[in-house]
Amino acid sequence: MDQWLGLADSCGNNENTKKIVDKSKRKRIYGDSFLQYGFTCSCEDGMEKPLCLICNETLSAESLKPSKLKRHLNTKHAESLDKPIQYCERFLKFSKKQKKFRENFFTVNERYMRASYEASYLIAKSTKPFSVGENLVLPAAVKMSEIVHGKKYGDKIRKIPLSNDTVARRIAEISDDQL
């Protein structure tokens, strides 16, 4: 009876089972034609997943089928159904700009923090008071960068936190990390 239902026999040699397993292992890949449904590709955990450009919802990897993408568009974004493909291309361009802006914003903050740690380490090595960071080091660095590179870079250096309390906290964190 198992062979009529397509179930594997005790050895697991049934051909129907092998076909089912092979179908489940097949991975769908993103195609540029999915842009007409308002979707782009998002890579998470090494798998391509469809990302809706309109609502920024990430669907499962199994939803990487044109029929499922079209159903999402019909049910959730019916007003965008009759829009031309240029409409989705604008969304894609905007989302790429937004992603690039977010990446730049967060990496800049990490740079300022790293610079603060490096300056705090040098202040600790010099055995000077911690207030030297905001009273001497930061103003000197701003002046030097304004002279060499212009006022724009001086404004960026002012964002490096070097107050007395910040330097003390950074030095404590560095010493805790040394142990």
Report the alpha-carbon distance of residue 142 to residue 109 in Å, rounded. Answer: 17
pLDDT at 55 over 90: no
Q: Are strands 39-44 and 47-52 parallel, antiparallel or unpaired?
A: antiparallel
Per-residue pLDDT reduced to its tens digit, 133-172: 999 999 999 999 999 998 989 988 999 999 999 999 999 9
> Residue ranges of the alpha helices (H) in 12-128?
15-25, 66-76, 85-126
Q: Give residue 35's identity as a one-letter amino acid code.
A: L
3-state secondary structure of 45: coil
Per-residue pLDDT reduced to its tens digit, 90-130: 888 888 888 787 777 666 588 888 999 999 999 999 998 99
Give pLDDT, residue 162: 92
The region of weakest confidence among 4-8, 28-32, 85-89, 147-151 is: 4-8
Whether the Cβ atoms of residue 116 and residue 161 lie closer than 8 Å to each other: yes
* Structure tokens that stand for 14 in this block: 């049934």
Give pLDDT, residue 23: 52
